[in-house]
């Protein structure tokens, strides 16, 4: 039995754009978020409150938040690695944030400059401040199906970090296949294991499509009862601290598959395709969604 309803978390404006070397104007980012809202997307990760030295492209996130048209039924979220990030997010009026840890020590060091345990310790004061301010916190675990520095990752380590995030108050934990090396069988085994300590309906899948496995991994996750997936419009993206990490799975492609399976999302495919093509034009690069390429060339 696969879920009848799926929640799509659109990470294009954040995961999709964070690694772009060319400057992207605040106006173009705002337009992207507004287009996604208009397409019926109910959760949009708009930006990050991280060090501008580490991820320069996300430096204008407060301006983007100030200018987007916020629909009351939509969650507009931001990444926050520490209390400083949360404070900046609160200042910008953000109502939901995400912390991001990893199942790999080496990746944790490269991405957030601390060990896994140190990261969890940094999240603790953030969690209490978020609670006091009525802000929901989502959690990410990176490198769940492979690490660019350590190779294979023991699923038990993923389960441990995911459980720690859940136990400290993250309402949902998204498991990130940061470098896209996962395959469907391993994906199922991973969710089977992690769901022993974090309920399935509190887990999400975040698949990068570097090895072309993301759609298969999402289908495998659906078979495990997972009903929240992160995706990126036009397949934008890649993580700055994971060399060769290509985009997230394209939102249009995921939506097309879910539509075909009769699974509801509330998102309009044609509008989503238009949103993805517009930002692809802005970036001057081919649209990373297969569905969009097929539809727009038909
Ligand atoms: P650090 O250098 O260890 O931090 O970086 P620090 O606390 O020692 O502070 C150093 C400087 O950074 C200070 O400024 C701080 O004020 C500033 P200075 O005195 O040198 O001028 N600083 C900040 N500035 C703005 N916002 C903040 C902030 N915190 C400190 N929140 C830190 C540690 C975590 C800040 C840094 O490593 C960082 O910003 N990393 C961000 C990495 C990132 O954004 N990666 C991409 C997102 S994760 C991802 O893509 C994976 C995911 O998609 C899932 C998947 O695919 O697996 C989620
Ligand atoms: Mg990612």
Ligand nearest to the CA of 240: 1
Pocket of ligand 1, candidates 45, 51, 81, 205: which has the most ligand atoms within 8 Å of its Cβ, to mutate? 51
> Which residue has the CA at smallest separation from atom 47 of ligand 1?
239
| Environment of ion ligand 2 (residues, CB < 5 A) | 15
Q: In residues, how long is the chain?
A: 298
Active site residue 239: yes
The answer to whether 208 and 246 are in contact (CB under 8 A) is yes
> Ligand 2 centroid to 230 CA: how many Å?
9
State the Cα–Cα distance between residues 120 and 160, nearest whole angstrom: 11
Give pLDDT tens digits for 131-174: 999 999 999 999 999 999 999 999 999 999 999 999 999 999 99
Using one digit for the tens of pLDDT, what is the confidence trace for 172-181?
999 999 999 9
Residue 97: CB atoms within 10 A of its CB come to 24
User: For residue range 207-252, what is the model confidence (pLDDT) as tens digits?
Assistant: 999 999 999 999 999 999 999 999 999 999 856 666 666 789 999 9
The pLDDT assigned to 242 comes to 66
- Please tell me the residue having the least CA distance from ligand 1 atom 3: 113
Residue 247's pLDDT is: 87
The atom number, within ligand 1, closest to the CA of 58 reads: 44
ipTM value greater than 0.95? yes
What's the distance, CA 238 to chain centroid?
11
How far from 81 is each of 4, 104, 109, 164, 203, CA to CA, in Å?
Answer: 33, 16, 13, 16, 20
Atom of ligand 1 nearest to the CA of 248: 56
- Single pTM value for the model: 0.97
Q: What is the pLDDT at residue 7?
A: 98
Burial 75-84 (b: 16+ CB within 10 A, else e): bbbbbbbbbe
Which ligand is located closest to the Cα atom of residue 237? 2
């Amino acid at each position: 039995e696969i879920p009848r309803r799926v929640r799509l978390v659109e990470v294009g404006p954040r995961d999709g754009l964070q690694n772009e070397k060319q400057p992207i104007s605040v106006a173009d980012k705002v337009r992207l978020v507004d287009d996604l809202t208009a397409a019926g997307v109910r959760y949009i990760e708009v930006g990050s409150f991280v060090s501008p030295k580490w991820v320069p492209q996300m430096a204008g996130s407060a301006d983007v938040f100030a200018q987007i048209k916020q629909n009351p039924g939509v969650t507009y979220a931001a990444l926050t690695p520490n209390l400083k990030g949360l404070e900046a997010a609160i200042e910008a009026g953000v109502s939901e944030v995400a912390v991001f840890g990893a199942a790999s020590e080496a990746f944790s060091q490269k991405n957030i400059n601390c060990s896994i345990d140190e990261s969890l310790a940094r999240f603790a004061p953030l969690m209490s401040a978020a609670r006091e301010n009525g802000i929901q916190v989502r959690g990410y675990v990176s490198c769940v199906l492979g690490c660019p520095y350590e190779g294979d990752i023991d699923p038990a380590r993923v389960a441990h970090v995911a459980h720690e995030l859940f136990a400290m108050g993250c309402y949902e934990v998204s498991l990130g296949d940061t470098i896209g090396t996962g395959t469907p069988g391993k994906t199922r085994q991973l969710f089977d294991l992690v769901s022993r300590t974090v309920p399935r309906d509190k887990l999400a899948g975040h698949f990068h499509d570097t090895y072309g496995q993301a759609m298969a991994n999402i289908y495998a996750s659906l078979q495990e009862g997972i009903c929240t997936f992160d995706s990126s419009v036009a397949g934008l993206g890649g993580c700055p601290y994971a060399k060769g990490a290509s985009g997230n799975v394209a939102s249009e492609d995921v939506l097309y598959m879910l539509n075909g399976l009769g699974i509801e999302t509330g998102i309009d495919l044609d509008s989503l395709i238009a949103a993805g093509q517009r930002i692809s034009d802005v970036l001057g690069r081919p649209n990373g969604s297969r569905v969009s390429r097929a539809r727009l060339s038909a």
